[in-house]
Amino acid sequence: EVQLVESGGDLVQPGGSLRLSCAVSGFTVSSHYMTWVRQAPGKGLEWVSVIYTGGNTYFANSVKGRFTLSRDDSKNTLYLHMDSLRPDDTAVYYCARRAAAAHTLDRWGQGTLVTVSS
Amino acid sequence: QSAPTQPASVSGSPGQSITISCTGTSSDVGGYNYVSWYQQRPGNVPKLIIYDVRTRPSGVSSRFSGSKSGNTASLTISGLQAEDEADYYCSSYTSTSTLEVFGTGTTVTVL
C-alpha cells in the first residue's frame, strides 16, 4: 500500500530553522518526482518545491534561497530543510507524489503543521 | 506567477449540476493539457479527482468531469450530493520556474 507520512512540524521562532521528513512506503521515493505543497490556515494550496528523479530541485519564489530539498534513498525518505522561517511560512506542509505517467499529484501525505511565531 | 483564478464559491441543490472554472494563461492552463482537479473536504487531505484535463482516476465518481477551452479549464459536478461539499482546487503545469501552480480554490455548498 502506498503511504506518505510527514513529520517534523513544530512551533518555531521567526528566523529559525526546521527540517520536515516524508517517509514513503509502497514505492521507491527516487522513482517519482516528489513535491511539497503547503496550506496556510484557512487558505488555499501553494506549490512549494519538487525534486526530480535525477535529483534536480525547484522551488517557489516565496521560499527560494531559504528552503532546500533532499532525498535519502536508503531510507526512502524525503526532507524539506527550511531556514530563515517567517510568520507567513506558517502552514500545513503536505508531501505528495507525482504520478509516474501524468503531470499530477496522485498520492498525498496527511500533512504536518509548521507554526512560525514568537 | 499568478494563480489561476477560480470563483470563491459555487452552490447548488441536490441533483443539480454545477461548473467550476479555472482561468489561467497561455503559460499554464492554456498551454498544456496538464490540468488537475483536487477535492478537499473539511479537515481532510486533498484528493485527486481529475487529471490531464478530463481523466478520472480509478474509483472517482463519473459525476465528476473536466474540460478545457483556451485558457480556462472547467470541472463539472453532475447530480450534486451532500458529500460533494468541499473545497476544489485546479492545478496546472506551467512553463515558468515554479513548474506547477494551484488555482485560488472554490468552496462548493450543497443547499
Chain A contact for B101, CB < 8 A?
A: yes
What pLDDT does residue B100 have?
85
pLDDT in tens, B19-30: 999 999 999 999
- Picking from A81, A93, A111, the residue whose alpha carbon sits closest to that of residue A36 is A93
Chain A contact for B100, CB < 8 A?
A: yes
| Contact criterion met (CB below 8 Å) for A94 and A86 | no
To probe the interface with B, which of A38, A45, A56 has the most B CB atoms within 10 Å? A45
pLDDT in tens, A55-111: 999 999 999 999 999 999 999 999 999 999 999 999 999 999 999 888 899 999 999
Mean pLDDT of chain A: 96
**Chain A residues with at least one Cβ partner in B under 8 Å:** 35, 37, 44-47, 50, 58, 60-61, 94, 99, 102-106, 108-111
Residue with cell 463539472: B76
pLDDT in tens, A11-69: 999 999 999 999 999 999 999 999 999 999 999 999 999 999 999 999 999 999 999 99
Provide, as residue numbers in chain B, all residues whose Cβ is less than 8 Å from the Cβ of A99.
51
Query: What would you report as the CA-atom Rg of chain A, rounded to the nearest whole angstrom?
Result: 13
Measured in angstroms, the CA of A13 and the nearest CA of chain B are apart by 26
> What is the rounded distance in angstroms from the CA atom of residue B106 to the CA atom of residue B73?
13
Provide, as residue numbers in chain B, all residues whose Cβ is less than 8 Å from the Cβ of A50.
99-100
* Average pLDDT per 10 consecutive residues for chain B, totaling 111 residues: 92 97 95 96 96 96 98 98 97 84 97 93
* pLDDT band for position A7 (cuts 50, 70, 90): very high
Q: Which residues contact B11 (CB under 8 A, 6 or more apart)?
A: B18, B108, B109, B110, B111
Cβ–Cβ below 8 Å for A45 and B105: yes
> What is the rounded distance in angstroms from the CA atom of residue A78 to the CA atom of residue B86?
29
What pLDDT does residue A16 have?
97
Q: Closest residue of B to A94, CA-based?
A: B45
| Contact criterion met (CB below 8 Å) for A50 and A35 | yes
What pLDDT does residue B22 have?
98
